[in-house]
Amino acid sequence: MNDIKLLMLAVVQEQDQETATRALEKLNLPVVFFASAGGFLGRRNATLLIGLREGREEEAIKSLEESCRQRIEYLTLPLEGS
CATH of the domain at 47: 3.30.70.120
- How far is Cα 72 from Cα 16, in angstroms, rounded to an integer? 14
pLDDT per residue over 12-65, tens digit each?
999 999 999 999 999 999 999 999 988 777 889 999 999 999 999 999 999 999
- Number of separate helices (H) and strands (E) present in the chain: 2, 3
What is the pTM assigned to this prediction? 0.81
pLDDT per residue over 27-38, tens digit each?
999 999 999 988
- Tally the C-alpha atoms within 13 A of residue 14's C-alpha that lie toward its C-beta: 9
77: in domain? no
User: Into how many domains does the chain fold?
Assistant: 1
76: in domain? no
56: in domain? yes
33: in domain? yes
Per the structure, the complete domain to which residue 15 belongs is given by 6-67
73: in domain? no
